[in-house]
Amino acid sequence: MAAFTLTAIPAHHEQVPDRSYKMTVMELLGTCFGRGRIEAKNVAEIAVLVKTFGDGVARQHPEISFMVSVSVVKGSRKPNGFDAANNCNGLGQEAWMKTIDKADPIRPSYPAAA
């Protein structure tokens, strides 16, 4: 079984006018909202554990927009398909991210990490 570190970091999507894509903005330096360690045999197990972890963080900080970073613990072997799933949100890491519409003059301002 491989070991992974889960970290909830402040992040949000920004929808820019006249663009068909969303930008992802992450606060990599600073406060994290939670950290945990999991063990899993395959990508499907990782996705379930990411959801459980993220739901717990969301209950503690319902007003915060965040994503869950999944990193392999040194010395562990990644399961097949991990890199592909991790790179395209296949583990559900962005389920708790809110979107800010940059075209909206009264756009929401999500609380920053304290």
pLDDT of residue 114: 40
Query: Mean pLDDT over residues 75-87, rounded?
Result: 94
pLDDT at 2: 94
What sign results for the dihedral spanned by CA atoms 37, 56, 47, 22? Answer: negative
Q: Tens of pLDDT along 85-100?
A: 999 999 999 999 998 8
Does 73 score more than 70 pLDDT? Answer: yes
- pLDDT by residue (tens digit) across 8-26? 999 988 887 777 777 888 8
19: its two tokens: 């663009």
Q: Which two tokens stand for residue 18?
A: 């006249």
Q: What would the pLDDT profile of 42-69 be if each residue is shown by its tens digit?
A: 999 999 999 999 999 999 999 999 999 9
Helices (H), 31-98: 43-60, 82-87
